[in-house]
Structure 1
Amino acid sequence: MLGALAKSLFGSSNDRYVKSLGKLVAQIGGFEATISALTDDELRGQTVKFRERLKGKETLDDLLPEAFATVREAGRRVLGMRHFDVQMIGGIVLHRGEIAEMRTGEGKTLVATLATYLNALEGKGVHVVTVNDYLAKRDCEWMGQIYRFLGLTTGVIVPGLREDERREAYAADVTYATNNELGFDYLRDNMKYERAQMVQRPFNYAIVDEVDSILIDEARTPLIISGPTDDKSELYMAVDALVKQLSDKDYEKDEKQRNIVLTEDGTETIERLLESAGLLQGSNLYDFENTQVVHHVNQSLRANKMFKRDIDYIVKDGKVIIIDEFTGRMMDGRRWSDGLHQAVEAKEGVNIEPENQTLASITFQNYFRMYPKLSGMTGTAATEATEFHEIYKMNVVTIPTNVPVQRKDEEDLFYKSIEDKFAGIAKTIREHQAKGQPVLVGTVSIEKSEMLSEFLHKEGVKHSVLNARFHESEAHIVAQAGRLGMVTIATNMAGRGTDIQLGGNLEFRIEDELKDLAEGPERDAAIERIRIEIAMEKAQVLEAGGLCVIGTERHESRRIDNQLRGRSGRQGDPGLSRFYLSLDDDLLRIFGPDTLFARMMRSSLEDGEALPPSKWMSKAIETAQKKVEARNYDVRKQVVEYDDVMNDQRKVIYEQRGDIMDAETVDDVVVDMRHECVNDIVGAHCPPGTYPEQWDVAGLKAAVLARLSLEPDIDGWLTEDAVAPDIIEERLVALADAAAAEKAAALDVVSWHNIEKSILLQNLDHHWKEHLATLDALRQVVHLRAYAQKTPINEYKAEAFALFERMLSNIRDDVTQTIGRVQFQFENAADVPELPTLPDFITNYGADGGAGAGVDENGFVTTRIPGISAGSGGGDPYAHMGISRNALCPCGSGKRYKHCHGALA
């Protein structure tokens, strides 16, 4: 109570902070008259002046007022859009590395240009991160007009680009890209064999659009690059057929944790079924020999009993495609990992793709924390402010709207069943449509949107459906959702990126209606006609009450509900919002308090009757949502805790790879590895402080032959009086060094250095891949340590450190062994092998998700950049001839092919 009183007198800390930025906004405004008087060329010249001032003693903060005023003027001239003062506040917040929470329709895309331009002046590159490829391309073209007018370069990263195109886009002053493309490019870069093949520059500054969607919703699952393993499709199909024979009493479901386990009866049943199918070794399902079968049974159970078609995934063109639970979009090319996607494919009877093995992975949390400066913007972030601060060290600042919000948010309505609820919604929609009020209906799944569509057809209501099935026409459907009497059903509105404008969207109407009309007086007249029609229609829609938003049920996250509500009441327009709920809704059924159900049941509602709106009921719903949000936060926090362990190791490995690639020679590293390997061999078989009679001479000989490829006269050495472990070690070192020097002498210096570097990098990558697989397996079982009263994360850290040390030891031994065994038989110098280039890989999404498609000629699956391998320049007329990299170029230049037309882009 006292807190509320103090807030009413002094304002919240957010209010005071925003108010303090008013002085800076006034300074920006003070430059407006001077800047607006400049010619276009003079305005463009501001960029050169700013960069010169940065080379002096001035900082970005010193330039901010004048730079922001410059962008404001450029926006007015190029786009016809002048930044409001509240947008200037948003730009300042972004520049300071904070999160700007701005309502839908407040122009976040335009706000980003302020901080982007200012930070791009340093020339280190600014990344603007969007939630999908459409927005990345749209914003780069749209807002890029401002940057290009002011003399900055822009680039966009989308799937399908060649390596040289990606490198060029990353080299631009401003680069637009999706979070997935950025993450995958980072992982791919750290799997390449030459620095010149890498596409990204060092991290500098990123602005994340829809920051809650990217850094929170999608942060539960890591990005994974993987290669294919053995085909087990027959086993998946066989197990699937057996699991489908199980009854409800054979398993128990925990919908809160999305988990399912066999009961005792179920275990017996599946054992008999597996035994009769010849898939069980022995008679006990949980014998060690049946580990793989148990895994397949568990995943098949999840696929058949937990994952639902048209809710969690859809089947399109013979493929199972994941549906993003937050945006309702199809996640093309993404696949669930750990065999779950294959189990769903077996369930649906489509072609089963091979399982994948992790080659590289990173969480979004650890990827974005590598940026020295990170900021974001969204319409809904305040409910997750604690998480943003704890994970990313970013504060959330709520920016006031330019015009006061006029929307009315009505209390929720409750029905007994989904059928009653949808019937009530359909009647309400018909009433709103009858008076010309546009209606936007938000659903949580394709199934629910299609169910509601059937109810609307019965009521005779004309409507459009926007879900994962019709995502191609998404922007056009959303853009016209504010037209007179328009009814639009949308599966989740998060991150749609297109504003709903009352009366319709001029740009999209021109594109849809005048695409075949050539430039000229006729087209200009048609555009003017459309503009007048939109103005008249907007007036009618405003009179009808603006956009009406209806939610068919509450989402697990309050942010998603707020995003749907925020579509109405844009820029001070009137509007209305209400959510409709029933006892059958997942949120109430799984997470709702028991008393809620008891009271509603006692209220003895008639069929089709709604419970009167109640603040108590709305509070109960909010409590249920907070429970889910807390659970999801725990999941994300655990992902970060475990990935932090791997991240420390990842940094070491990637830093080592970089050092190796940059080094002209790795002789010193290879020699040190060889000497340490000899030290280990001698120490293991001739322990210090022991007598020669106690040494394991046979083991010593075998180890020297296996790991060094040497057969010295050790028996002769042992006959000497002064023989000691250190003498044996010295002799072995000398012999091993001499053998390596002999091999090096057979080749030219550059070739030998390339071979050493190649062996080192390939061994490093091989063992890192195996290490990742081991850590994955460890993470699956480490929670069992809790039964011994041990903390799983601490156990994981200790085990992971020991495994990392073992990996480094294995890398050292394998490099030494490979160089000891390698033999060369070249007919001429042109046959000396080059460093390999990187093939394409499957790009997976998450511990719960991943991506993949067809297998290429290298045995790797290509999806994100089909048919293009890293380092392919695309401008080589001799590429099809299969010319050796070290042969003379066919063009007659006299240069080697690799330094001429075959040069890596």
Structure 2
Amino acid sequence: MLSLARKIFGTETGRKLRRMKPIVDKINALEADFKALSDEALKGKTAEFRARLEQGAKLNDLLPEAFAAVREAADRAIGLRPYDVQLMGGIVLNDSSIAEMKTGEGKTLVATLPCYLNALPGTGVHVVTVNDYLATRDSEWMGKVFAQLGMTTGVISHGKSDQERREAYACDITYATNNELGFDYLRDNMKYSIEEMVQRGHAYALVDEVDSILIDEARTPLIISGRTEDRTEFYKTIDALIPQLGDDTYEIDEKARSVLLTEEGNEEIERLLRENDLLKEGDLYDIENVSIVHHVNQALKAHKIFQIDKDYIVKGEEVLLIDEFTGRMMQGRRLSDGLHQAIEAKEGAKIQPENQTLASVTFQNYFRLYKKLAGMTGTAATEADEFHSIYELEVVEIPTNRPIARIDNEDEVFRTLVDKYAAIVDDLVDCQERGQPVLVGTVSIEKSEQLSKLLSDKKTFRDTLGHLYPKDDAEIEAFKKSGRPDARPLKDMLKLIPLEHNVLNARYHEQEALIVAQAGVPGAITIATNMAGRGTDIQLGGNADMRMMQWKAEQAEKGVEPDEAAIAAQKTVIAADIAAKREIALAAGGLYVLGTERHESRRIDNQLRGRTGRQGDPGRSKFYISVQDDLLRIFAPERLDGIMKTLGLKEGEAITHPWMSKALETSQRKVEQRNFDIRKNVLKYDDVMNDQRKAVFEQRIDFMTAPDVADVIKDMRHQTAEDLVTEHIPPKVYADQWDVEGLATELREVFGLDLPVQDWAKEEGIADEEILERVTEAADRAFAEKAANGGPDLMRRIEKSFLLQAIDQNWREHLQNLDAMRSMIGLRSYAQRDPLNEFKTEAFALFEKMMDSLRVEVTKQLMLIRFERAPAAPEVPQDITATHIDPRTGRNAMGAPDAGPVASRVSPTQRRTSEPADPTKPETWGRVARNAACPCGSGKKYKQCHGAIGSRDTET
């Protein structure tokens, strides 16, 4: 019935595309007019569009003309003219939706259309990419198009200074990675003045590889953290205990990627801890030993769950995490809660100190800050429900410019890994002999290097797969009746080994662009861990631009600087060579994508498949599966291997059946649903924090932009006084029950006031309101005296500085409290309580407590402040680390030390009194009275000029 309805009424996507047709026709009708414009006239269109916006025009009113302008600019600047389907993609992106466009359909160019239109209001556009390489490449490449239209382009990459970032964000269009954008947002909300902030708002964001960024990486939050104490020896001691545990002392849950000690394990680890003098008193699970239990569990996870060359690699003395989705090393990213330190101890690497959370935000809540959000990818349909429910984004599938000629073969399923690898090697040999380029997809570094060794080493090939090839004529006849009737003789196979190939994984990250660009050469075999977000197209015959770069580099090594004629000649040679090789590759069937294993996400498999068949080229894809693969072993029906035995599957024989495909798809759906649940759970808890985060961050900005915060400070002082009086002299309580001594003590500690509260309490008919009034008046007088002593300008700056610092300190402590509470709140479910509701209640109570503590702290600091001129010791900058947890494992990811402190003040230097006083050199003035004229000659008092707070000559 559903199929019949679609035939009659069409699909939702089809209806949307039909509605776009008139708009595309309008853009095409304008093409001749824009072609007739000079370069200056085309550039002037931007000013014209902006003027019309100021006069009340809407962005959508300008869309046809703006898109026509971009099309013409792209043709002139980079020689690319957007197709009609690319115009449709641009319309979808402008409509706050996700455009699903196949690989090779030119998404990078499509992005220029909505970016230009949405940059016209002057509020800035952010183009989000998955890595620094793509951000830099796209900004330089597409920046030429925007420059043709009179717009500026900036790029944010790791390691840039605040000033460089500020300039990049000030551009009309800014390219950046999702991590850099999120961390700039967090760091901005740790700054102490508006001028120090780098971002200027969140108007429009266009996310490339939207499924990778908003789905895969959104399972865990971004975290800014600071260093804590060094506990290297403690980690090493704990690490040494884990290998002493037997297999029966722990249980591993591969689905949840967790490991737990059994009852016997608890007893054994407790004995080992006592022997090593780590457990001095009480039982293992007593409250004072919670930290030890935590680190034992982390060390156990490091040994039993995390695998070298799969989850991380060791480079020098550093443990580098591997991104599951791109196969790249994640430089600077670290796991949280001591887990990274546990892995460092396990591998004998240098152990870095743990981190403390200073600020955090999830990708979901960061990207929901944007007033307008859009995305593009080749694989979004499988996650359409999640995009709609979390981001309110619709997915629209854009048709390809040319029909897809790719053939997707059914999966071949084998009983064992050895059978599967033998079939893969046979297929690769055949492809190389026929001249068909092959892209081999693997799920980890370990698997890619295992396959590479099989293709490179004769001994490894013979020992692993030799029994699956006939050794003589007698065996050849026997093999014809077995599951491998076409198997070549072993001696022939050994002549072909080593089989020429390239490996692309985290170990060869630097060669990534070169390897991918040449993966379309006839007979090339490229083994890659993951092809998501590589950013370089695989072109049949090879990549001309990359070949030219190589040639120029070779010439430079020889010390030769080729002239224009030599460059043109070489381009001709390369173009002819590539054209000839392209014909060979086409005749062999185009690029062949060979998957060695199904990924846990269908999208990753689709991304791999999408590498072939670009722009109408022929291509083929096939996945080789084994029942021993992790996905089937963990998630598929346990009886699958038994069923295959029952079917009488011979050694080396594969089956292809819809039931097997359905079992694989079911396994992938299970994993995808589990990951969706993880993301939803993260978001539910972060939503509780998000309202608090926004309130605190918005309040900080209000305070930074306000001329002064005197009224806020006064309200805090009065509220603190009221709270103290109410606590010790409750309303409607007899005078003999008042705690006047406690109130007097608190007033001395908080306000620095020695008030005769005991005498007041003895007065006839006095009430708590009158005492509160006297306390408030006394506090106001004392504070007014301090302000007069320091000067009003100085005091205003002190108030703002202390207020912002107190907010930051209390917010950090609040985050720690929330983290601790969240780690334990799940236990409330044993009491039949909803952990999320409990978290909401507790988080609100903690937030109120934080605000109370903030008022008291600010009031106390300002009331007890003393002014004196003295050089201060230089402050040590505080290193901070940016952390994003790896989505699959629940680990903290992106953590890079900041180049400088979050907010630092210039400390005064010791003055040299031996030099004569020079008005231009404050260090020669010596000590200057605060009320004396400033030696600089400004005419102001010293305390209001160079003697003000934050200057080189005084400190509070």
Q: TM-score, normalised by structure 1?
A: 0.94
Shift of 1:514: 2.3
The RMSD of aligned alpha carbons is: 2.3
Which of 539, 548, 563 lines up with 2:607 in the alignment? 563
In the alignment, which residue of structure 1 is the partner of 2:882?
A: 843
Preserved contact between residue 252 and residue 261 of structure 1 (Cα < 8 Å): yes
Shift of 1:320: 0.8
Aligned length: 880
Output one character per residue of 1:798-827: Cα deviation in whole Å (capped at 9) or x when no partner.
Answer: 110010000000000111111122211126
Rounded to whole Å, the distance in 2 between the matches of 1:4 and 1:898 is: 80
Rounded to whole Å, the distance in 2 between the matches of 1:211 and 1:71 is: 23
In the alignment, which residue of structure 2 is the partner of 1:860?
A: none
Residue 902 of structure 2 corresponds to residue 866 of structure 1:
no
Rounded to whole Å, the distance in 2 between the matches of 1:865 and 1:74 is: 39
CA spacing shift, 1:24–1:888, aligned 2, 3 Å: farther
Listed as ranges, the matches of 1:420-439 within 5 Å are 420-439=419-438
In the alignment, which residue of structure 1 is the partner of 2:192?
A: 193
Residue 341 of structure 2 corresponds to residue 355 of structure 1:
no
Instruction: Structure 1 unaligned segments of length 5 or more: list them.
Output: 854-862, 873-877
CA spacing shift, 1:838–1:182, aligned 2, 3 Å: farther
In the alignment, which residue of structure 1 is the partner of 2:942?
A: none
Listed as ranges, the matches of 1:366-515 within 5 Å are 366-457=365-456, 458=458, 459-515=497-553
In the alignment, which residue of structure 2 is the partner of 1:65?
A: 64
Output one character per residue of 1:209-238: Cα deviation in whole Å (capped at 9) or x when no partner.
Answer: 000000000001111001111222211111
Residue 590 of structure 2 corresponds to residue 546 of structure 1:
yes
Amino acid in the other structure paired with 1:553: E
In the alignment, which residue of structure 2 is the partner of 1:631?
A: 674
Which secondary structure state, in structure 1, belongs to the residue aligned with residue 511 of structure 2? helix
Which of 520, 523, 540 lines up with 2:564 in the alignment? 520
Preserved contact between residue 191 and residue 838 of structure 1 (Cα < 8 Å): no
In the alignment, which residue of structure 1 is the partner of 2:654?
A: 611
Shift of 1:889: 5.8
Shift of 1:700: 1.5
Listed as ranges, the matches of 1:210-359 within 5 Å are 210-282=209-281, 284-359=283-358
Shift of 1:697: 2.3
Rounded to whole Å, the distance in 1 between the matches of 2:434 and 2:644 is: 33
Listed as ranges, the matches of 1:150-165 within 5 Å are 150-165=149-164
Preserved contact between residue 275 and residue 283 of structure 1 (Cα < 8 Å): no
In the alignment, which residue of structure 2 is the partner of 1:856?
A: none
Shift of 1:760: 0.8
Rounded to whole Å, the distance in 1 between the matches of 2:872 and 2:208 is: 49
Rounded to whole Å, the distance in 1 between the matches of 2:837 and 2:284 is: 31
Rounded to whole Å, the distance in 2 between the matches of 1:408 and 1:628 is: 27
Which secondary structure state, in structure 1, belongs to the residue aligned with residue 500 of structure 2? coil
In the alignment, which residue of structure 2 is the partner of 1:713?
A: 756
Listed as ranges, the matches of 1:806-817 within 5 Å are 806-817=849-860
Which of 824, 834, 842 lines up with 1:781 in the alignment? 824
Rounded to whole Å, the distance in 1 between the matches of 2:709 and 2:194 is: 15
Rounded to whole Å, the distance in 2 between the matches of 1:216 and 1:894 is: 61
Listed as ranges, the matches of 1:815-826 within 5 Å are 815-826=858-869
Rounded to whole Å, the distance in 1 between the matches of 2:681 and 2:199 is: 29
Output one character per residue of 1:859-897: Cα deviation in whole Å (capped at 9) or x when no partner.
Answer: xxxx3543587699xxxxx9998999xx97649997878
Residue 755 of structure 2 corresponds to residue 755 of structure 1:
no
Rounded to whole Å, the distance in 1 between the matches of 2:689 and 2:947 is: 37
Which secondary structure state, in structure 2, belongs to the residue aligned with residue 514 of structure 1? helix
Output one character per residue of 1:84-122: Cα deviation in whole Å (capped at 9) or x when no partner.
Answer: 000000000000110000000000000000000111111
Amino acid in the other structure paired with 1:697: V
Rounded to whole Å, the distance in 1 between the matches of 2:872 and 2:277 is: 51
Amino acid in the other structure paired with 1:393: E
Rounded to whole Å, the distance in 1 between the matches of 2:795 and 2:901 is: 29
Residue 629 of structure 2 corresponds to residue 585 of structure 1:
yes
Amino acid in the other structure paired with 1:475: A
Which secondary structure state, in structure 2, belongs to the residue aligned with residue 866 of structure 1? coil
In the alignment, which residue of structure 2 is the partner of 1:602?
A: 646
In the alignment, which residue of structure 2 is the partner of 1:859?
A: none
Rounded to whole Å, the distance in 2 between the matches of 1:658 and 1:289 is: 41
Amino acid in the other structure paired with 1:179: N
Preserved contact between residue 436 and residue 484 of structure 1 (Cα < 8 Å): yes
Which secondary structure state, in structure 2, belongs to the residue aligned with residue 206 of structure 1? strand
Preserved contact between residue 226 and residue 355 of structure 2 (Cα < 8 Å): yes
Which secondary structure state, in structure 1, belongs to the residue aligned with residue 407 of structure 2? strand
Amino acid in the other structure paired with 1:158: S
Output one character per residue of 1:562-588: Cα deviation in whole Å (capped at 9) or x when no partner.
Answer: 000000000010001000111221100
Output one character per residue of 1:127-186: Cα deviation in whole Å (capped at 9) or x when no partner.
Answer: 000000000000000011000111001100011111111101000000000000000000
Rounded to whole Å, the distance in 2 between the matches of 1:750 and 1:72 is: 55
Shift of 1:30: 0.4
Shift of 1:10: 3.1
CA spacing shift, 1:724–1:780, aligned 2, 3 Å: same
Preserved contact between residue 785 and residue 791 of structure 1 (Cα < 8 Å): yes
Output one character per residue of 1:570-615: Cα deviation in whole Å (capped at 9) or x when no partner.
Answer: 00100010001112211001110224233123234333x1322111
Residue 710 of structure 2 corresponds to residue 667 of structure 1:
yes
Rounded to whole Å, the distance in 1 between the matches of 2:253 and 2:937 is: 70
Amino acid in the other structure paired with 2:752: S
Shift of 1:456: 1.4
Output one character per residue of 1:775-817: Cα deviation in whole Å (capped at 9) or x when no partner.
Answer: 0011101111111111111111011001000000000011111
Which secondary structure state, in structure 2, belongs to the residue aligned with residue 161 of structure 1? coil
CA spacing shift, 1:880–1:761, aligned 2, 3 Å: closer
Preserved contact between residue 888 and residue 897 of structure 1 (Cα < 8 Å): no
Which of 751, 762, 765 lines up with 2:808 in the alignment? 765
Listed as ranges, the matches of 1:95-244 within 5 Å are 95-244=94-243
CA spacing shift, 1:347–1:60, aligned 2, 3 Å: same
CA spacing shift, 1:519–1:869, aligned 2, 3 Å: farther
Which secondary structure state, in structure 1, belongs to the residue aligned with residue 522 of structure 2? coil
Which of 663, 683, 696 lines up with 1:640 in the alignment? 683
Which secondary structure state, in structure 1, belongs to the residue aligned with residue 79 of structure 2? coil
Amino acid in the other structure paired with 2:501: H
Output one character per residue of 1:385-436: Cα deviation in whole Å (capped at 9) or x when no partner.
Answer: 0000000000000000000101110111112222221222111111001100
Rounded to whole Å, the distance in 2 between the matches of 1:142 and 1:176 is: 11
Rounded to whole Å, the distance in 2 between the matches of 1:537 and 1:529 is: 12
Which secondary structure state, in structure 1, belongs to the residue aligned with residue 171 of structure 2? coil
In the alignment, which residue of structure 2 is the partner of 1:857?
A: none
Larger Rg: 2
Amino acid in the other structure paired with 1:196: E
CA spacing shift, 1:898–1:390, aligned 2, 3 Å: farther
Shift of 1:767: 0.6
Listed as ranges, the matches of 1:733-744 within 5 Å are 733-744=776-787
Preserved contact between residue 130 and residue 178 of structure 2 (Cα < 8 Å): yes
Rounded to whole Å, the distance in 2 between the matches of 1:153 and 1:898 is: 42
Which secondary structure state, in structure 2, belongs to the residue aligned with residue 192 of structure 1? coil
CA spacing shift, 1:888–1:762, aligned 2, 3 Å: farther
Rounded to whole Å, the distance in 2 between the matches of 1:20 and 1:144 is: 31
Residue 80 of structure 2 corresponds to residue 81 of structure 1:
yes
Shift of 1:282: 2.9
% identical aligned pairs: 55
Preserved contact between residue 14 and residue 398 of structure 1 (Cα < 8 Å): yes
